[in-house]
Structure 1
Amino acid sequence: MNTDLNPAGETHVDFERLAGMPVAGLIFDMDGTLVDNMHVHNDAWESWHLRHGLPFERERFFRETAGRANREVVKFSKPDASEHELDTLGQEKEEIYREIYRSQMAPMPGLMALISASEAHGQKMAVATAATPENAALVLDGLDLRRHFVTVVSPSMGYRGKPHPDLFLAAAQAMGLVPAQCVVFEDAPLGIEAARNAGMRAVGVKTMLDDAALGGPNTVFSITDFTDERLKGLLGL
């Protein structure tokens, strides 16, 4: 496999040469991937922006912020915020989100069947999410998903957010795998880019965006949900 590192420490890979490599690990983003909830996050961000008298362009905001750590997202809208304000304002948005989403939670169609098939096949799984620990607990514990994953990594553990490769590389390390053995499931361009920077193939999940938006040299294909039959061939199920 032909790889090299750029000055930021990100890996560049010839992804065409990975096409036939068996998949040993699945790494899932959470919001918009394990669950179809990104529209709720956007609703919460829109309410937050209105509350603070800030403009909000929904599609642009999603494209430019989805996958980033919460402090980075707040700074995107309030660049002059102090360190304390970044935390306080981010917590405010997440409280709005949890209040809206708590009664709506459901796994993505086909997710539980895919998890069962992957476990039976001996594949390891992990979650790499920009969500806060409280939001991760809401979904992963509320839907009893956490037990299926070797690890759950997030910026709250000291990692840089997407598009940096940190989260995906940490997930692979926890599973005892190299990047080439992993496939990432992501619903946002920054997540696809982070997977590319980690040297991993990606499958786009079209909960918010289309194929074109989720395309990249490392994108194998994009799916509407986990019932897509192409996953069986990719994952060897």
Structure 2
Amino acid sequence: MASAVRAVIFDIDGTLLDSVDLHAQAWVEAFAHFGIETEHAKVRSQIGKGGDQLLPVFVDRDRVKREGKAMEAYRSDLFKRNFLDKVRPFPGVRPLFERIRTEGQTIALASSGKADEVAHYKELLGVADLVSVTTTSDDAERSKPFPDIFASALAKLAPLNAWDSMVVGDTAYDVQAAAKAGLPTIGVLCGGVSETELRTAGCVAIASDPQDLCDRYGESLLAR
């Protein structure tokens, strides 16, 4: 690892936005529409993956091939219609991003979300002017825990590379995907995943939420 972190790559859902339960509920209702019964807690535990990785947990392989795209499209439309306007930022996102930029570091967003959702989130967070690089589901063949989204972010950050960069995420899927791309991860607890699970997955440090990371920036791994 280089002595200085020059780029910080953020997951969005559960890391910057209080949206995990909303995404889970949208999936539960979408599955129900297709006659599939699921439990909210079980679906919630899979949030952080994109639909390509989440669907096979609840739907058999042949049906995913037949109806997977229709299920994803229905869920996406349902989320935008009934849940998107309920998403709220966690405290401290804008101050954290301002601090990072003041320190001369570059900010990237790496999400499994659709491009229009991510664009909306940047406006909701009020950070569009501070973000240099954004990746969405359009930039990755496979979603987390595969590394595609982080690899895409690194490609856009070039000439900065994995040695210069650090991920901030809220799920084990973020940590696993980042590690496969050669990136260390600071875990945040605001997405609802336990510190034990995040540390077991390989997080190099833990913060409560963006505000906590901002308040303790000077002593965090981002500042080294």
- Normalised to the residue count of structure 1, the TM-score between the two structures is 0.82
Aligned mate of 2:175, from 192, 197, 219: 192
Q: Which residue of 1 aligns with 2:55?
A: 74
Query: What do residues 160-193 of structure 1 show as CA deviations (whole Å, max 9, x unaligned)?
Result: 2111222112212322212122111111111111
Please tell me whether the aligned partners of residues 126 and 171 of structure 1 are also in contact (alpha carbons under 8 angstroms).
yes
Alignment: residue pair count:
218
Please report how far the alpha carbon of residue 118 of structure 1 lies from its aligned counterpart in structure 2 after TM superposition. 0.8
SS at match of 1:152: strand
Structure 1 residues 221 and 158: alpha-carbon distance in aligned structure 2, compared to 1, 3 A threshold: closer
The answer on 1:220 being equivalent to 2:201 is no
Q: How far apart are the structure 2 equivalents of 1:91 and 1:75?
A: 16
Matched, 1:87 2:69: yes
Displacement of 1:211 in angstroms is 0.2
User: Would the aligned equivalents of 2:172 and 2:201 in 1 still touch at CA under 8 Å?
Assistant: no
Match status 1:139 vs 2:121: yes
User: Is the Cα–Cα contact under 8 Å of residues 204 and 221 in structure 1 kept in the other structure?
Assistant: yes
Q: Gaps spanning 5+ residues in structure 1: where?
A: 1-17
Deviations 1:59-93 (CA, angstroms, capped at 9, x unpaired): 33333x33322233233322323556222211111
Deviation at 1:221, TM superposition (A): 2.1
Query: Quick check: 1:34–1:107 contact (8 Å CA) kept in 2?
Result: yes
Q: Say which is worse superposed, 192-201 or 137-146, in terms of deviation.
A: 137-146
Runs of 4+ in 1 over 4 A off after TM superposition: none
Q: Which amino acid aligns with 1:208?
A: G
| Counterpart position of 1:47 | 29
**TM-score of the two chains, using structure 2 as the length reference:** 0.86
The residue correspondences of 1:169-180 to structure 2 (distance < 5 A) are: 169-176=151-158, 177-180=160-163
CA 1:22–1:216 in structure 2 vs 1: closer, same or farther (change >3 Å)? farther
The two structures, once aligned, show a CA RMSD in angstroms of: 2.2
Instruction: Tell me which moved more, 81-90 or 35-44.
Output: 81-90
Q: 2:188 aligns with which of 172, 188, 205?
A: 205
Distance 1:219 1:51, change over 3 A: same
Amino acid at match of 2:192: M
Match of 2:3 among 17, 21, 31: 21
In the superposition, relative to structure 1, how do residues 106 and 78 fare at CA in structure 2: closer, same or farther (>3 Å)?
same
Choose from 94, 115, 118 the match for 2:100: 118
